[in-house]
Amino acid sequence: MTNRKVFDKHSPTKDEKFFIPLPSDALHYIHHDRISADKLFLYALIIDHYNPDHGYAFPSVERLSVMYGKAPDTTSRHLDDLKAAGLIDFPEKGMYVPLVPQKNEEFYKDNPQAWKNYQTTFKRYEKRKEAAAERMKLWRRENGYSD
């Protein structure tokens, strides 16, 4: 392990540090057909640039693309995806309003395909977990460990 400090989850702004916020309630949006982990990062960038005095975030697509690490055209398409998923709104061109994510139940009720995507992903996880448990049992038997 390195000599670097462990991130303080309970006091992220300690020592005058800044961090990019991502609401925990946004995590289930990963199952939406138009959302991916990188788009959630873009959402976090919009939240980070939100100016409550003005009521919106207003970084240019060019500036967002630099921070996001994607081309401006890609960034623009991803902003459209965030809007389609209900995570941001555009009151005017170049102005972004980060919206509070829906809670799990409401999100999946409004997005039945996302619920199906979640169930498919969870079933794959369960199968991999069961297969790993079987491999471990076999390995333990082959190496003289009792069940």
Tens of pLDDT, residues 43-69: 999 999 999 999 999 999 999 999 999
- What's the token pair of residue 37? 């982990």
pLDDT at 109: 98
Domain ranges of the chain: 14-110, 112-147
- Under 8 Å between Cβ of 32 and 80: no
Say what the pTM is.
0.84
Pick the CATH number of 14-110 from 1.10.150.530, 1.10.10.10, 1.20.59.10, 1.10.10.410: 1.10.10.10
pLDDT at 113: 98
Q: How many CA atoms lie within 13 A of 134 on its CB side?
A: 6
Residue with tokens 């996880």: 125
Low-confidence ranges of the chain (pLDDT < 70): 1, 147
Query: Which letter does DSSP use for residue 94 in this model?
Result: T
